[in-house]
Chain A
Amino acid sequence: MSGAILAATDLSRRFGKIVALDGLSLSMGAGELFGLVGPDGAGKTTALRLLAGQLRPDAGSVRVMARDPVREGDAVRAELGYVPQQFSLYGDLSVQENLDFFGAMFGLNGAEVEARSEELLALTRLKPFRSRRADALSGGMYKKLSVACSLLHRPRVLLLDEPTNGVDPISRRELWQLLQRFAAQGMAVLLSTPYMDEAARCHRVGLLHRGRLVRCGPPGELRHSVGHGCYWLEDLPRQIAEEVLAQTAVLTRVPQGKRYRLLVRRDGEEALAQRVSQAGGRLTPTQPGFEDLFLLFTSEGGDGA
């Protein structure tokens, strides 16, 4: 694809007998926010490490600004920021000292580091904490500092591995606002997440399952491609609800408080509605969400078709 800032073609990688990633292809343009969503062990981290040039693929290729991260590592690193799950800040250095250190590592001179770190401290709202040791930062602040350190050299591509894992909702909102701002400035931002509600916040989403990209597209489009009815089931005691729901047309059911969330095959909707009303319950249609989509794809033998 022309104009792609980041492109992967048929990317595969195995570890021993385990195929961690199986033929991943994707391409991203400037200003795009892309979410790689999938369960534990789906291959998200492997994909990110391959894209960042931290790992060699067994097959396929990666291009960052048309360059190969394996053969042209230095050139690619200049264009790329990578925030792994455990970003190693120096715990006994202060916020500012960490920025200075990473700036020097990226080959920036003193004046450049100073100007850029001022900018990033303001953006991440870490200015009041610049002399605090990294060890003493909250989870959310630590993550923001990791992101800042990865952006000192003004990369065109930012890769983040589960950046919001274990981060509280306030810091999470702040992180997302940062990512959105980076994308608006033209950066290509790719992140992985196990949280389905975050998928809805990306321009495009790739659903990774067992090393394969099973779906890829704008979030709204993906949710509506489910092709099954999504419902709330209410007002039925649990035992009766379980009986009513015990039929093959009910593809997923998730108890939530006193109600159930359901995905129902279209050809079974009418029969289910009858059974529910006979039992005295209530069935209310709702919009399918990413969690529904995810459960459908990852259910036993489910291919979502």
Chain B
Amino acid sequence: MGPEAVIEVAGLTRRFGSFTAVQQVSFSVRAGEIFGFLGANGAGKSTTIRILCGLLAPSEGHACVAGIDVARDPEAVKRSIGYMSQKFSLYLDLTAEENLEFFGGAYGLGRRALRQRGRELLARVGLRERSAEITGRLPGGMRQRLALAAAMLHRPRILFLDEPTSGVDPRARQSFWALIREAAREGVTVFVTTHAMDEAEFCDRIGLMADGRLRALDTPDGLKRSFLPGEMFHLELSPDRSIDALASQPGVLRIESAGAAYRLRVEAGRFDPEKLRALLGPAAVRVERVEPDLEDVFLEVVTQARGEAVP
């Protein structure tokens, strides 16, 4: 499979008492790949990441990270990865530069090497001009870039980013992702979790967890093709109108309410905007053909996994 696998997981299982948090999970991630790891709260995502980072031992199965068996040598794993999360604690009363010095010291970098690497990273994440500012006074997006720089100080081959851009606006997110892509182009493997499905689109491949199992694994486009056959429409109706007229139509696969709007998935070739308008009558404010997104995939996968009826 092309370039070498830098993360290899086989039959990974983790139990807490009688509860199985992660069950028979297998996948591999290639060098330089941006791998998105998705799942609802409680799906087993965090447990898997903690195992991969050498913080938790598996109950069964194997995980190799950067060629190291995480169960055998968790300390070596910690040294070869970089980790950053939204809760990553930078010291808010230190300057940007001081934070990097502190974390570099913790990684055991020598003083001179550290200073140079720190400067290089501050420039790279666009904080050179602000390196002397107190971290607590930097806007959220800059703090996140600083946390990323701290995670990269020791030149790890793999970066684990746990919801790195939670609550950050699109512009700040774009610049953060530009940094992630730059790292990936240099061969760093990026393993990232996010609840923002529009952001998951930026990943090369995606693994989707539900109820402790890996339920889907593919490129974003591949996931859409296999889980969302048919065509999608975006519908806006006048506030007091109902969508019931569509629910009983043959060929309608799913109607999902999304706030004041609806997402409609139908069998291919059976509907067009004109036909939908005719069916909905004056209730239809807007009818548009849209591309399915990863939130549609996510909801579909989780619904299938639970085997529950469409709500």
- On A, residues with C-beta under 8 Å from B are 31-33, 38-42, 138-140, 162, 165-173, 176-177, 179-180, 183-184, 194-198, 200-203, 218-220, 254-257, 286-287, 291, 294-295, 298
Please give the distance in Å from A79's CB to the nearest CB on chain B.
Answer: 21
Question: For residue A175, which residue of chain B has the nearest CB?
Answer: B259
Please give the distance in Å from A223's CB to the nearest CB on chain B.
Answer: 9
From A196, A201, A286, B260 is in contact (CB under 8 Å) with A201
From B139, B240, B285, A41 is in contact (CB under 8 Å) with B139
Contact B198 A196 (CB under 8 A): yes
Given the known A-B contacts A40-B172, A180-B259, A200-B258, are A171 and B298 also in contact in the complex, defined by CB atoms under 8 Å? no
Contact B288 A287 (CB under 8 A): yes
Contact A203 B295 (CB under 8 A): no
Contact B259 A198 (CB under 8 A): yes
Contact A179 B139 (CB under 8 A): no
Please give the distance in Å from B181's CB to the nearest CB on chain A.
Answer: 7
Please give the distance in Å from A254's CB to the nearest CB on chain B.
Answer: 6
Given the known A-B contacts A39-B169, A194-B167, are A169 and B258 also in contact in the complex, defined by CB atoms under 8 Å? no
Question: For residue B201, which residue of chain A has the nearest CB?
Answer: A256
Tier of interface size on chain B = 35 or more
Contact A220 B258 (CB under 8 A): no
B residues 271-311 touching A (CB-CB < 8 Å): 285-286, 288, 290-291, 293, 295, 298-299, 302
Contact A200 B234 (CB under 8 A): yes
From B139, B195, B240, A169 is in contact (CB under 8 Å) with B195
Extra inter-chain contacts (13) besides given A173-B258, A201-B261, A202-B260, CB under 8 Å: A40-B168, A40-B172, A168-B39, A168-B40, A169-B197, A170-B40, A170-B299, A176-B257, A194-B167, A197-B197, A200-B261, A220-B285, A298-B171
Number of cross-chain contacts by CB at 8 Å: 121
Given the known A-B contacts A169-B197, A176-B258, A201-B259, are A254 and B174 also in contact in the complex, defined by CB atoms under 8 Å? yes
Contact A291 B198 (CB under 8 A): yes
Contact A138 B41 (CB under 8 A): yes
Contact B168 A183 (CB under 8 A): no
Contact A140 B41 (CB under 8 A): yes
Roughly how many angstroms separate A13 CA and B176 CA in the complex, as a whole number? 31
Roughly how many angstroms separate A265 CA and B103 CA in the complex, as a whole number? 46
**Complex interface: chain B residues within 8 A of A183 (CB):** 239, 260
B267 contacts chain A at the CB level, 8 A cutoff: no
**Complex interface: chain B residues within 8 A of A32 (CB):** 239
Contact B172 A166 (CB under 8 A): no
B88 contacts chain A at the CB level, 8 A cutoff: no
**A140, A179, A256, most chain B CB atoms within 10 A:** A256
Q: List 20 A-B contacts (CB under 8 A).
A: A32-B239, A33-B259, A33-B260, A40-B168, A40-B172, A138-B41, A139-B41, A140-B41, A168-B40, A169-B195, A170-B40, A172-B195, A173-B256, A176-B259, A197-B198, A200-B258, A286-B291, A287-B288, A294-B169, A298-B171
A-B pairs, 3 with minimum CB distance: A201-B259, A39-B169, A220-B286
Roughly how many angstroms separate A32 CA and B239 CA in the complex, as a whole number? 8
Please give the distance in Å from A182's CB to the nearest CB on chain B.
Answer: 11
Given the known A-B contacts A40-B139, A202-B260, are A168 and B195 also in contact in the complex, defined by CB atoms under 8 Å? yes
Question: For residue B298, which residue of chain A has the nearest CB?
Answer: A169
Please give the distance in Å from B113's CB to the nearest CB on chain A.
Answer: 31
**Complex interface: chain B residues within 8 A of A200 (CB):** 234, 258-259, 261
Given the known A-B contacts A169-B298, A291-B198, are A257 and B260 also in contact in the complex, defined by CB atoms under 8 Å? no
From B196, B198, B236, B291, A220 is in contact (CB under 8 Å) with B236
Contact with A along B216-234 (1 / 0, CB 8 A): 0001110000000000001
